[in-house]
Structure 1
Amino acid sequence: MILKGSQRAGAADLAAHLMNDRDNDHVSLYELRGFVASDLHGALSETHAISKGTRCTQYLFSLSLNPPIGKDVTEPEFIEAIERAEVKLGLSNQPRAIIFHEKEGRRHAHVAWSRIDGVEMKAINLPHFKIKLNTLARELYLEHGWDLPEGMQVGGGKSPYNFTLAEWQQAKRAGLDPREIKQAIQQAWAQSDSPKAFKHGLEDKGYVLARGDRRGFVVLDCDKNVYALSRALGIKTKEVKARLGDPADQLSVAEAESLIDHKISQQLRGFIKAFKDKQAEAWQPLDAERQALKDQHRADRAMLSAFHAKRQKDELKDRLVLRTGLGGLWDRFTGRASEIRKANELAAWQAAKRDQCERDNLVFDQMVERRKLQSKVHALRQSQQAERSVMARMIGDAYRAKSLGIVRPTDEARTMARKRAAERFNIGADPPDHADADKVKPPKGPDLSR
């Protein structure tokens, strides 16, 4: 599975992100270890408070574990991977929180550790943690028999779709897949060999090149959303400058916004809005189906949880009871009390494993249903992405038409032109009287006397 970790601060933001049940079908707080608080917000706030006694600013280590698409991973398999990562990183016995997310028919896990050693009051150093996590991820792929991603294969390339949370959120606000935005900008870059060609390539896809407010190049879409060019391309700023030159030669963001307003007519903006409304409307049946499935799955899990709680209570009553008084003293002397404790511990462990297997089986069955729905979602995404490509080309045509001073006639203008032509050439009119024939001038044709 893909392991992605980072040192970070922002306890409140991380807790809010991990417990977000709006963008996830299901969120479950699996474990809180080493904290006084019983909720995630309180637990991570504890770490923040303890870090105040040190100079550490990035007091948390966050890790996400993502299995391949279509692969079911049980809770014990996730926990084993987390334990192995913990040992490799040197975070054994540190306070940690484990959260499971389910979205689009896939289950993945998140872990947040405290980096603060509470005894020595200093942050635990995490050297080369990316290399260690990549090594462990490759081991997990090979152990489970999963196909290695290109980035993990020997000689494989790095995926161009490693975007940050901020990029993902910006793209969601724009109503696009962030991979789609990056892909469009990267294609324009790959297909151009000069600044002019790159600008035209961006215009073909509905984007405008500009100078950032602070430094470097940025790209604006037709809705004036701003994207950092070097980040979208996945290369350094100096490489971008080497091809495009000085950013000062480009329009500022404010000037680019004014240019977009000038280039895109109100008629085209209305068409774009109608296009977006149509695409949003197409999602409504799938969103309703997803919400209904989500509610049903949550109800099934609540029912299973209530059943487990009742069964655990009944089984607790049926377990052997230690005697008191002289009988209890005799049991301790003969060793029978120790045997009863061991038998009860074994029964409790077996019951816990059984309940865990039942939870996993229910989750896997529900993910099968969710994946069927996700296939419809994927098909609609592909269809709408193709439609957006056509729209982008139309916007690019509008850019070029305005830049070249081409004025496209409206329907009303075309109608008037046809009417004037009809009046001039008597198209569709009654033939003129012979008396007035000399007043009618035939259309001037080509001069054949030469």
Structure 2
Amino acid sequence: MIIKASTRGNPPALARHLLNDRDNDQIEPHEVRGFMADDVMGAMREQQAIGQGVKSRQTLFSVSLSPPQDQSVDVSVFEKAIDDIELSVGLKDQPRVVIFHEKEGRRHAHAVWSRIDAESMTAIPLPFYKQKLMAISKDIYLEQGWKLPAGYIDKAQRDPRNFDLTLYQQAKREDVDAGRLKLMAKEAWALSDSREAFEQALEERGLYLARGERRSHIAMTWRGQVIALSRLLDRKTKEVRERLGNADALRSVEGARAYISQHIAPTLQRVIGEAEQQRAAQLGPVEAERLAMKVNHAAERQRLDTALAARQDEEQRERADRMRRGLAGLLDRITGRYNELRDENERAAWASLQRDRDQRQRLVAVQLAERQQLQQRILDIRNTHHDRVAELHRDLAQLLNDDKTAQRDERAQWLRDKERAQQDDRRRWLEEQQQIAQRHDVLPDERATTRHIATEPDKDRLSWLFEQQQRPDLNDTAQRERELSTNFNDRAEWLRRNMDRDTPQPDIDSGPDFF
């Protein structure tokens, strides 16, 4: 069976979780050992009081044991596994609590030990407990003849839908299946080869990439739930950063929420709201049937337990009556008949106990089979709803992507048109300057052109400077000075000085109209 364990504190919170009858169909306290209290909540409150005297905050060792769902497992198998765990991790004879849960047609057990050593008032260390529990889990699979999970043979073949408690609680708040959520994120990771492709693939699955405060990359649901991307992908943060690059270019948490509330939430609240109403209408009768089944199963077990207890009392009296008293009893002790009757009673008591356990186990197996049939109907409705929601996310993501593509194309076309218009204006101005140069002398034309250029934009000035550099009618000295000059005003001043020194000034008022 699958064994998961962790050290933890806050015993009352753990007790509330173990006794939560809202999420569990049946709750059966099996054992409370080593505490003064005889109930789960009392034992955990006692543990909390004892924990005030130690430095460690993790005073509990909590283990869950989950057998394959299609197997009917006897209580003795759970008990042996719990005893093996106790010996393996070094908690022999420590106070413990054992409780059975039945949830969604699956029966599993929880065992909780106190880590506090009563003599030294210190927390007992638990080195390498995960490796030890893995070995015990494999042994149980082999002993019971169950098919060993592929992940136990090769870590690379582990179920990608496996999740931890943190992810389960986050997914539960979003009303989605944690395994399904994790699988969607891994699909997006496998299908993409860049950050942009990964972001688009996530949006098609209802997740949105953003920049976290403590982690570089996070995934956000459309309802605003933040999930660490490394937890979803089962990858290290460094590996995620190497694949997706720096997260500074991504939206912040608040920015992502603003984007979702503006572009995503209005549509999804309407369409997903309709889908959830349909799911609620379909689940309503099934949920009523589940609650009725829960009450009926509990009542059947209570009646059986009462009948078994009455039969045990009657059989116990019958076994006690076999033991004679008085002189006859003394004679039986002398002849050895007393020991024979005692051994016979012990064997009968053990056989009676096993018979009652088997009878109760058969009832539990029948009820679990009935509950699993109902659970399959519930899963069909949930899967249909999840598929519809996934389709809505894909359609909305595709629609938004088409809008972004159209905007990018429109922007690119606008830039091309603007660049083409600038090139046309530049070419027309150069043609005008060539026509002016053909009608007038070089130096007067240069001064007139300088006056014209002084009123043109910077792009026209640069064009004029480039044109002047290509003219062969100026001497080499002037050419070198133009190459060294980077300021247009300096160049214009140089032209005026040379025109005043080398050539006569034309009468601009009486000359031809340059402009």
TM-score range for the pair, normalised by the shorter chain length: 0.7 to 0.9
What do residues 205-261 of structure 1 show as CA deviations (whole Å, max 9, x unaligned)?
222211123332221222222211111111111211222223232211111111111
Query: Counterparts in 2 of 1:225-236, with a 5 A limit?
Result: 225-236=225-236
Report whether the alignment pairs 1:13 with 2:13. Answer: yes
Alignment-mate amino acid for residue 396 of structure 1: A
Report whether the alignment pairs 1:79 with 2:108. Answer: no
Q: Does the 8 Å contact 1:203/1:399 carry over to 2?
A: no
- Match of 1:65? 65
| Identity of matched residues, % | 42
What do residues 392-443 of structure 1 show as CA deviations (whole Å, max 9, x unaligned)?
112213432554577xxxxxxxxxxxxxxxxxxxxxxxxxxxxxxxxxxxxx
Going from structure 1 to structure 2, the CA distance change for 1:267 and 1:75 (only over 3 Å counts) comes to closer
Q: Does the 8 Å contact 1:27/1:99 carry over to 2?
A: yes
Going from structure 1 to structure 2, the CA distance change for 1:341 and 1:145 (only over 3 Å counts) comes to closer
- Match of 1:379? 380
CA shift at 1:9, angstroms?
A: 1.2
Going from structure 1 to structure 2, the CA distance change for 1:400 and 1:372 (only over 3 Å counts) comes to same
CA shift at 1:277, angstroms?
A: 1.6
What do residues 270-314 of structure 1 show as CA deviations (whole Å, max 9, x unaligned)?
122112221222222221222222221111101101111222222
Report whether the alignment pairs 1:396 with 2:409. Answer: no
Going from structure 1 to structure 2, the CA distance change for 1:24 and 1:199 (only over 3 Å counts) comes to same
Distance 1:401 1:72 in 2: 53
Distance 1:147 1:13 in 2: 35
Q: Please say which of residues 116-125 and 80-89 is displaced more in the overlay.
A: 116-125
- What secondary structure does 2:248 align onto? helix
Unaligned runs of 5+ in 1: 407-450
Q: Please say which of residues 126-135 and 388-397 is displaced more in the overlay.
A: 388-397
Q: Does the 8 Å contact 1:215/1:247 carry over to 2?
A: no
- Match of 1:446? none
Structure number with greater CO (CA < 8 Å, separation at least 6) is 1
- Match of 2:349? 348
Report whether the alignment pairs 1:146 with 2:146. Answer: yes
- What secondary structure does 1:320 align onto? helix
Distance 1:156 1:182 in 2: 16
Alignment-mate amino acid for residue 36 of structure 1: M
Distance 2:61 2:400 in 1: 46
Q: Please say which of residues 375-384 and 203-212 is displaced more in the overlay.
A: 375-384
Q: Does the 8 Å contact 2:275/2:385 carry over to 1?
A: no
Alignment TM-score, normalising by the size of structure 1: 0.84
CA shift at 1:65, angstroms?
A: 1.0
CA shift at 1:345, angstroms?
A: 3.6
Q: Please say which of residues 141-150 and 375-384 is displaced more in the overlay.
A: 375-384
Going from structure 1 to structure 2, the CA distance change for 1:268 and 1:343 (only over 3 Å counts) comes to closer
Q: Does the 8 Å contact 2:105/2:369 carry over to 1?
A: yes
- Match of 2:41? 41
CA shift at 1:131, angstroms?
A: 0.9
Report whether the alignment pairs 1:28 with 2:1. Answer: no
Going from structure 1 to structure 2, the CA distance change for 1:265 and 1:176 (only over 3 Å counts) comes to closer
Alignment-mate amino acid for residue 104 of structure 1: E
- What secondary structure does 1:16 align onto? helix
Q: Does the 8 Å contact 2:12/2:48 carry over to 1?
A: no
Distance 1:320 1:67 in 2: 39
Q: Does the 8 Å contact 1:263/1:398 carry over to 2?
A: no
Distance 1:343 1:78 in 2: 28
Distance 2:88 2:165 in 1: 25
- What secondary structure does 1:97 align onto? strand
- Match of 1:245? 245
CA shift at 1:268, angstroms?
A: 4.7
Distance 2:338 2:52 in 1: 48
- What secondary structure does 2:109 align onto? strand
Going from structure 1 to structure 2, the CA distance change for 1:264 and 1:320 (only over 3 Å counts) comes to closer
Distance 1:25 1:74 in 2: 19
- What secondary structure does 1:65 align onto? strand
Distance 2:150 2:226 in 1: 30
CA shift at 1:327, angstroms?
A: 6.3
Select the structure that is richer in helix.
2
What do residues 170-226 of structure 1 show as CA deviations (whole Å, max 9, x unaligned)?
212211101111111221111111111111111222222111233322212222222
Q: Does the 8 Å contact 2:212/2:252 carry over to 1?
A: yes
Report whether the alignment pairs 1:100 with 2:100. Answer: yes
Unaligned runs of 5+ in 2: 408-515
CA shift at 1:135, angstroms?
A: 1.2
What do residues 125-169 of structure 1 show as CA deviations (whole Å, max 9, x unaligned)?
211111111111111112222111111124652333332223212
Q: Please say which of residues 95-104 and 283-292 is displaced more in the overlay.
A: 283-292
- Match of 1:282? 282
Distance 1:15 1:294 in 2: 21
CA shift at 1:336, angstroms?
A: 5.5
- What secondary structure does 2:54 align onto? coil
- Match of 2:297? 297
Distance 1:43 1:127 in 2: 25
Distance 1:304 1:165 in 2: 35
- What secondary structure does 1:319 align onto? helix
Alpha-carbon RMSD: 2.3
- What secondary structure does 1:148 align onto? coil
- What secondary structure does 2:320 align onto? coil
Distance 2:259 2:325 in 1: 88
Distance 2:122 2:264 in 1: 57
What do residues 82-131 of structure 1 show as CA deviations (whole Å, max 9, x unaligned)?
11222222222111111111122221111111112212322222111111
Distance 1:95 1:246 in 2: 50
Q: Does the 8 Å contact 1:95/1:114 carry over to 2?
A: yes
